[in-house]
Amino acid sequence: MNKVMIWYGELLSQKSLIKRGLFFLTPGMLWLILFLILPGLILIVVSFAGRGAYGQLVWDFSLENYKRMLGFGIFGWTPDYLIILLRSIWVAVVTTVLSVLLSYPLCFFIAGKPERTRYLWLTIVIIPFWTNMVIRTYAWFLILAPEMPLAKIASWLKIISPGMPLYPSAFAVYLGMISMFLPFVALPLFSSIERLDWTLVEAAQDLYASNVRIFVHAILPQTLPGLSVGVILTLVPAMGMFVVPDLLGGAKYMLVGNLIQQQFGTSRDWAFGATISMCLMVLTMFSLYVYKRKSKGVELL
């Protein structure tokens, strides 16, 4: 076992190499195991516990929480939680699709700029990406306020009563979500579009392909790596989003994120909160599984 080997130009025994490697690995891995892996495992265990009268955990391992998630409560079957779950998936999908639709023109626009100014334009997309999500979300309050044109038009169309803001509403949630996640799609997509081989597009044009066919056969396959990264970077966090629905959706448009927050906050039902987190985790894993199958060898970071 203790054989001598050459590793990075150094002659040493395998045993001492492994010892040294473990020395490097241990601090970081120990930290991640203690504060990432273990808490994750505890969360799984807690999701099977119950809630005591004072919000403490009761160790009565049962599927009660999962049944409750599916709607089997004390008062018979209600689909409330399932609706929230499905709504979260729906909002995430709509957000992703619209972000993709808006990102393509944006990326073509930036890629068409001369090299000198291109990175300036790109920086303009990166800045919202890094701007705090609370600020970006509440900023919509101003745009949707009753004094602003959008709310005036809506009240003129009798959608809302005059003097009322356009939030909280589903519409506001979508606005907030798309503006939040659009850069998540646009930035990875741009890296693909920048490298696009335009000769293929020209070839398709020479062969009288329609614009739709040019996009589907000449552009889409080339941009798929960036697009799939963008989609997964949007879809997964969008399902767990909590700030946007909390500020712009209110109680009318709750998503899974709010539900989890509620359990750890006012309701003080950690076990049920853990259960909802597990459901979100399953959805995340499913999206990643589809992503892995569809796009082999595309790196996330």
Among 82, 89, 133, 298, binds other proteins (CB under 8 A): 133
Task: Show contacts with other proteins in window 16-75 (CB under 8 A).
Answer: 17-18, 20-29, 31-32, 35-40, 42-43, 46
Cβ neighbourhood burial of 186 (10 Å; 0-12, 13-18, 19+): buried
Which span sits near other proteins by CB under 8 A: 62-70, 142-150, 191-199, 218-226?
142-150
When the beta carbons of 78 and 127 are compared against other proteins, the nearer one is: 127
Contact pattern for other proteins over residues 233 through 272, marking x by CB under 8 A: ---xx-xxxxx---x---------x--xx--x-----x--
Q: Is 229 in the site for other proteins (CB under 8 A)?
A: no
The reply to whether omega before 168 is within 30° of 0 (cis) is yes
8 A C-beta contact, residue 299 and residue 291? no
CB of 42 to other proteins, least distance (A): 6
102 near other proteins, judged by CB under 8 A: yes
CA 166 to chain CA mean position, Å: 25
- Closest approach of other proteins to the CB of residue 260, in Å: 6
Whether 92 and 243 have beta carbons less than 8 Å apart is answered as no
Q: How far apart are CA 300 and CA 295, in angstroms?
A: 11
3-state helix, strand, coil in the chain (%, to 5): 70, 5, 25
Positions 195 through 224 that interact with other proteins (CB under 8 A):
205, 211
In the chain, DSSP assigns E strands to 4-7, 10-13, 50-51, 57-58, 72-73, 76-77
Q: Which stretch binds other proteins (CB under 8 A): 8-16, 65-73, 79-87, 221-229?
A: 8-16
Give the Å distances, CA to CA, from 141 to 8, 179, 190, 262, 288: 58, 13, 30, 23, 34
How large is the C-alpha radius of gyration of the chain? 25
Residue 22 vs 159, nearer CB to other proteins: 22
Both tokens assigned to 165: 């803001």
Q: How far is the CB of 131 from other proteins (least distance, A)?
A: 5
* 61, 77, 90, 119: residue in contact with other proteins (rule CB under 8 A): 119
Instruction: Tell me the per-residue interface mask from 269 to 298 with other proteins, x by CB under 8 A, - otherwise.
Output: -x--xx--x--xx--x---x----------
**Residue 291, burial from CB neighbour count under 10 angstroms (0-12, 13-18, 19+):** middle
Stretch near other proteins under the rule CB under 8 A, chosen from 67-75, 139-147, 154-162, 218-226: 139-147
Q: Does 127 bind other proteins (CB under 8 A)?
A: yes
